[in-house]
C-alpha cells in the first residue's frame, strides 16, 4: 500500500517538471550558461595558462635585462646590489662574465645548484659570440629536470671591456600560485553556479507572475465573470497583452449585453407580428371569410406582417453571413447615381403615403466597382432609417457628389438625430440608441451593422454626422472608375 502511494507521488513529481514552461527553460538556460562559463574558465586555466605565463614572463625578463644593461654601463659599482635585488625579486639567475671574473646572483626560489645552469650559459654565450646581434635568447625545454626556462645573453660594456650578461628565468608558474589559482577557480565556479541559479529563479518568477495573473483572470472570464480586470504589470509585452485582453473582455461583455437585449427585443418584435397574423387569420376564419372586401383587407395585414417577419429573419441571416465571411459579392461596374435614383424612386411611394418630402440631388454619372444589389441595400437602409427616425420633420435629402476619383452618397434627415455619446455605437450589431426605447420605435439594431459589413467588403469609407434633435447625415464614399466600354458602345448604337 505504502509502496503504491510512493510510486504515485514520484510519478506526480516527474509529471510536474514541464520542460516547455518559462520557469524550466530560464532555469535550464542559465544553468547551461553557467556550466559553459565554468568550463571555459577551467579550459583556459588548464590549457592556456602555461603558454600565457611563458609569454608574459619572457617579455618581463627581457625588460629586466635591458634595465640591468643600462645600469651596468652607467654605474658598474652599484650594479651588484641591483642585480642581487632583481634576481631575488624576479626569481631569476643572473650571471656576469668579465674577462677576469664571474659574478653570480641566484634568486631562483627552488635554490638550484648554479652548476645546473652551466650548460645553458655556455650554450647561449657561444650563440651570442657567433651572432651579430646585441643579445640572444631562447626558450629551453629538455629532460634535464629543470623545467622550461628562458636563457638570455647580451654584451654589456663597462669602460672599454666587453662583458657578458646571462639571465636564466624559469618559465613555469610557481606551484603555490597555481594551487591558489585552482582554489580560486573552484570558488568562482561555485559562485557562478549559485548566482546563475538565483538569477534564473528570480527572472523566471518575474517573467511568469504577470502571465500567471493573466491566466487566472482569463479563467475567471471563461467562467462568465465579465468584471474581471487583466493586469499585465511588469513588462511592456504583458501590458500590451493585458490591454488587448481587457478590450476583448469588454467587447465580449458588450456583445453579450446586446445579444441578451436583442433576444428580448427580437422575441418581442417577432411576437407582435405573429400575434397579428394569428388573430387576423382567426378573424378571416370566423368573421370576414365570406366577405371578399374585408377578407382581402385582413389578408393584406397578414402579408405585410409576414414581410416584416421576413425582413427581420433576413437581417439576422445577413449579419451571421457577414460575420462568418460567408457572403458572396457579385462585382460589376455600375453607375452609382443610377442605383441611387432607383432607391429614390422606390421610396417615392412611401413618401406620398406617409407624407415624406424626399429630394434627390444627383451628380454626373459616377461608375464604381461593386455589388449593385448590396450597394442598393446600403442606400435603402439609410433611407428607411431616415424615414424611421425622422419624427415630425419629414424632409429627407438624397445627395450625390463627385470629385476627381471619388463619389459620395449622403442621406440627410432632419429628425431626432443621435446623441454624441452614442454615435460611435450605431454601427455595432444589435445597438439601438436609448431614444428608440423611449419612443417605442421597432427595429433589430442590425441594419447598420449589415451596412458596415457591406461597405467594408467594398473598401468604402463611411460615416455619420449627427446632432441630437437636428438630424443626421449618413454617408459613404467609393472610388470611381472609367465608364465600361460596353456601355459606351451601347449608347453609341442606341
- Closest distance to ligand ADP from the beta carbon of 354 (Å): 15
Per rule CB under 6 A, is residue 318 in the interface with ligand ADP? no
CA angle (96 as vertex; 90, 100 as ends), nearest 5:
160
Which listed range, 46-54, 238-246, 279-287, 437-445, lies at the site for ligand ADP (CB under 6 A)?
A: 437-445
Phi, psi of 269 (to 5 degrees): -65, -35
The yes or no reply on residue 396 touching ligand ADP (CB under 6 A) is no
| Region binding ligand ADP by CB under 6 A among candidate stretches 122-130, 328-336, 382-390, 482-490 | 382-390
**Hey, which residues between 417 and 436 contact ligand ADP (CB under 6 A)?**
417-418, 426, 431-433, 436
Which grid coordinates are listed for 9? 507521488
Dihedral angle computed from the Cα positions of residues 185, 186, 191 and 192, in that order, rounded to the nearest 10 degrees: 60
Give me the least distance between CB of 466 and ligand ADP, in Å please.
6
Cβ-based nearer residue to ligand ADP, 167 or 464? 464
Residue of the chain from 168, 444, 454, 460 that contacts ligand ADP (CB under 6 A): 444
Bridge-partner residues for 153, per DSSP?
A: 136, 166
Q: Which C-beta is closer to ligand ADP: that of 231 or that of 397?
A: 397
Our separate counts of H helices and E strands in the chain read 13, 12
Q: Considering beta carbons, is residue 30 or 475 the nearer one to ligand ADP?
A: 475
Q: Which of 284, 319, 375, 416 touches ligand ADP (CB under 6 A)?
A: 416
Decide if residue 322 touches ligand ADP (CB under 6 A).
no
Q: At its nearest, how many Å lie between ligand ADP and the CB of residue 416? A: 5
The per-residue DSSP string of 296-312 comes to: HHHHHHHHHHHHHHHHH
Q: To the nearest whole angstrom, how small is the minimum distance from the Cβ of residue 447 to ligand ADP?
A: 3
Choosing from 135, 196, 347, 472, the residue that interacts with ligand ADP (CB under 6 A) is 472
Q: How far is the CB of 260 from ligand ADP (least distance, A)?
A: 16
User: CB of 327 within 8 A of CB of 305?
Assistant: no
Grid coordinates representing 78?
652599484
Residue 332 has phi, psi (to 5 degrees) of -155, 165
- Answer for the pair 344, 352: CB distance below 8 angstroms, yes or no: no
Give the binding range for ligand ADP (CB under 6 A) out of 78-86, 177-185, 285-293, 414-422. 414-422
Q: Is 446 in the site for ligand ADP (CB under 6 A)?
A: yes
Question: Hey, CA dihedral for 346, 372, 382, 478, is it positive or negative?
Answer: negative
- List beta partners, residue 472: 466
398 lies in the site for ligand ADP, by CB under 6 A? no
Q: Does 389 bind ligand ADP (CB under 6 A)?
A: yes
Is residue 189 part of the contact set for ligand ADP (CB under 6 A)? no
Instruction: Decide: is 232 part of the binding site for ligand ADP (CB under 6 A).
Output: no
Say how far apart CA 167 and CA 156 lie, in whole Å.
Answer: 13
Burial class (CB in 10 A: 0-12, 13-18, 19+), 202: exposed
Min dist. Cβ of residue 426 to ligand ADP (A): 4
Other residues' Cβ atoms within 10 Å of the Cβ of residue 318: 20
- Rule CB under 6 A: choose which of 448, 454, 455, 460 binds ligand ADP: 448
Among 210, 362, 443, 453, binds ligand ADP (CB under 6 A): 443
Angle of CA points 105, 109, 113, to nearest 5°: 60
Q: Is 169 an interacting residue with respect to ligand ADP (CB under 6 A)?
A: no
Instruction: Determine, following the binding rule CB under 6 A, whether residue 262 of this chain makes contact with ligand ADP.
Output: no
**Cell 651588484 belongs to which residue?**
80
- Work out the end-to-end distance of the chain between its first and last CA atoms, rounded to an integer number of angstroms: 100
Sheet holding 93-97, edge to edge: 102-106, 93-97, 161-170, 149-158, 135-140
CB of 475 to ligand ADP, least distance (A): 12
Regarding 473 and contact with ligand ADP (CB under 6 A), the answer is no
Q: Is 196 in the site for ligand ADP (CB under 6 A)?
A: no
Beta strand 331-335 with 406-413 is unpaired
Give me the residues that bind ligand ADP (CB under 6 A), please: 385-386, 388-389, 413, 415-418, 426, 431-433, 436, 443-449, 472
Amino acid at each position: 500500500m505504502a509502496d503504491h502511494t510512493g510510486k504515485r507521488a514520484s510519478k506526480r513529481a516527474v509529471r510536474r517538471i514541464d520542460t516547455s514552461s518559462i520557469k524550466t527553460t530560464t532555469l535550464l538556460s542559465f544553468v547551461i550558461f553557467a556550466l559553459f562559463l565554468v568550463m571555459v574558465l577551467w579550459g583556459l586555466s588548464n590549457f592556456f595558462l602555461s603558454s600565457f605565463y611563458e609569454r608574459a614572463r619572457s617579455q618581463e625578463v627581457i625588460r629586466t635585462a635591458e634595465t640591468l644593461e643600462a645600469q651596468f654601463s652607467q654605474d658598474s659599482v652599484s650594479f651588484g646590489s641591483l642585480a642581487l635585488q632583481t634576481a631575488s625579486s624576479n626569481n631569476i639567475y643572473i650571471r656576469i662574465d668579465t674577462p677576469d671574473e664571474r659574478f653570480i646572483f641566484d634568486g631562483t626560489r627552488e635554490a638550484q645548484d648554479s652548476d645546473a645552469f652551466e650548460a645553458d650559459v655556455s650554450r647561449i654565450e657561444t650563440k651570442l659570440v657567433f651572432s651579430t646581434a646585441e643579445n640572444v635568447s631562447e626558450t629551453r625545454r629538455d629532460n634535464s629536470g629543470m623545467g622550461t626556462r628562458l636563457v638570455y645573453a647580451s654584451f654589456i660594456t663597462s669602460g672599454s671591456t666587453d662583458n657578458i650578461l646571462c639571465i636564466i628565468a624559469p618559465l613555469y608558474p610557481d606551484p603555490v600560485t597555481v594551487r591558489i589559482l585552482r582554489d580560486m577557480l573552484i570558488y568562482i565556479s561555485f559562485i557562478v553556479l549559485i548566482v546563475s541559479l538565483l538569477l534564473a529563479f528570480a527572472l523566471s518568477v518575474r517573467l511568469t507572475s504577470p502571465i500567471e495573473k493573466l491566466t487566472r483572470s482569463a479563467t475567471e472570464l471563461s467562467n462568465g465573470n465579465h468584471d474581471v480586470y487583466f493586469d499585465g504589470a511588469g513588462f511592456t509585452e504583458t501590458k500590451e497583452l493585458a490591454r488587448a485582453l481587457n478590450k476583448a473582455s469588454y467587447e465580449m461583455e458588450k456583445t453579450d449585453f446586446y445579444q441578451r437585449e436583442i433576444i428580448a427585443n427580437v422575441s418581442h418584435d417577432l411576437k407582435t407580428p405573429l400575434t397579428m397574423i394569428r388573430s387576423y387569420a382567426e378573424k378571416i376564419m370566423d368573421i370576414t371569410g365570406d366577405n371578399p372586401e374585408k377578407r382581402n383587407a385582413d389578408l393584406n395585414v397578414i402579408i405585410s406582417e409576414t414581410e416584416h417577419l421576413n425582413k427581420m429573419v433576413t437581417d439576422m441571416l445577413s449579419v451571421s453571413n457577414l460575420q462568418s465571411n460567408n457572403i458572396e459579392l457579385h462585382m460589376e461596374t455600375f453607375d452609382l447615381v443610377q442605383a441611387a435614383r432607383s432607391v429614390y424612386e422606390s421610396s417615392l411611394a412611401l413618401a406620398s403615403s406617409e407624407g415624406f418630402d424626399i429630394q434627390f440631388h444627383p451628380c454626373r454619372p459616377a461608375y464604381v466597382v461593386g455589388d449593385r444589389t448590396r450597394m442598393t441595400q446600403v442606400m435603402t437602409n439609410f433611407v428607411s432609417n431616415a424615414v424611421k427616425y425622422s419624427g415630425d420633420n419629414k424632409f429627407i435629402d438624397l445627395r450625390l457628389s463627385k470629385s476627381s476619383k471619388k463619389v459620395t452618397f449622403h442621406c440627410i434627415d432632419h429628425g431626432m438625430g443621435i446623441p454624441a455619446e452614442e454615435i460611435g455605437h450605431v454601427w455595432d450589431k444589435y445597438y439601438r440608441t436609448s431614444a428608440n426605447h423611449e419612443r417605442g420605435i421597432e427595429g433589430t439594431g442590425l441594419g447598420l451593422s449589415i451596412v458596415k459589413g457591406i461597405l467594408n467588403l467594398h473598401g468604402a469609407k463611411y460615416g455619420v454626422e449627427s446632432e441630437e434633435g437636428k438630424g443626421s447625415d449618413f454617408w459613404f464614399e467609393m472610388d470611381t472608375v472609367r465608364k465600361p466600354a460596353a456601355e459606351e458602345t451601347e449608347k453609341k448604337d442606341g
